[in-house]
Structure 1
């Protein structure tokens, strides 16, 4: 009986202590000062063009690889929150011929906003990797936000003849790193 009374008193004491707590006024306006700075990395483009695709009916050609739509930067979210974007390109040439890769950034009316190019040396038996990072910030970022397409144009330089039986390829891998500021 004494144990039951003791347990009741102890239970009432614990309940009494738990009913008193310390608290302070909460400031929900702190949410207005929230600033997020996420970094997003995504694939941009990839291609692998064999040497024989540079020949049509026995004649060497300048090849336009692709003109993909990249209007993600026109989205209101990116227009308002994109602070910087870094485009990374990696090109591997295993063809015994030098090339140039032109990247042409186009707006919705196919007007050129910005362009850049890469010289890709001919393959000499060792790894032939060309890398470049193109950073878009400030005025250049405004051009990117208006871009809806990027044309990838490969131009062949003079050199050894490329035929339908030529070996090798040109591979491009690219990605974009977007730096956002969300307030």
Structure 2
């Protein structure tokens, strides 16, 4: 024998199940657009000031380069769905010098497809300086970016000596905005 609350529960659940299917236009499923956002760590490094000076030859090394594969964006599915990319570069500098930093996105033939540039402010051992750079890529630049499979970072110092000390740290993140229909 059903009790009064159980009867109400059965009636309530029955009305929910039938109401979910009334007046439903299943042709609207073709109009659905999914817009996922994917966040990935991109590049990180710690460059010691000693890397900007060769003690064996007693000469400055004014440019330090690093290459990182970026396999996520060069696939056909991503290439067709990517509408915007945002790169966040977070530098912490305890070297008493400014830096110029170039980001060159290259294809398999090592041709530059997309490029970006920033300045990093000088810091000190007692007071490291944080410099944040955000690069938004959209519109026609997306096609160039998605034809890339690696990024080369070139860190340039204006001058160097054997007495230079400190570190330059980089942490970065890529946020990809996709549209899948």
Fold agreement, TM-score > 0.5? yes
RMSD after superposition = 2.6
The answer for unaligned runs of 5 or more in structure 2 is none
| Structure 1 segments unaligned to the other structure (5+ residues) | 1-6
Q: What residue in structure 2 maps to residue 63 of structure 1? A: 63
Between 122-131 and 169-178, report the one with greater CA deviation.
122-131
The one-character-per-residue Cα deviations of 1:73-121 (angstroms, maximum 9, x if unpaired) are 1112211111111111111110122221111111221111222222223
- Most deviating of 115-124 and 87-96: 115-124
Please identify, of 81-90 and 26-35, the stretch whose mean Cα deviation from structure 2 is larger: 26-35
Q: Higher mean Cα deviation, 172-181 or 112-121?
A: 112-121
Deviation at 1:30, TM superposition (A): 3.0
Residue 26 of structure 1 and its aligned partner are, at CA, apart by 5.4
**Do the aligned partners of residues 26 and 122 (structure 1) sit closer, same or farther apart at CA in structure 2, a change above 3 Å counting?**
closer
Q: Which has the larger radius of gyration?
A: 1
1:83 aligns with 83
The aligned counterpart of 2:74 is 74
Q: Stretches of 4+ moved more than 6 A in 1? A: none
Once residues 36 and 112 of structure 2 are traced to their aligned partners in structure 1, the CA distance between those partners, rounded to angstroms, is: 30
- Report the TM-score, using the length of structure 2 for normalisation: 0.80
Counterparts of 1:112-127 in structure 2, within 5 Å, are 112-124=112-124, 125-127=126-128
Q: Between Structure 1 and Structure 2, how many residues are aligned?
A: 167
Contact 2:51-2:64 within 8 A present in 1 as well: no
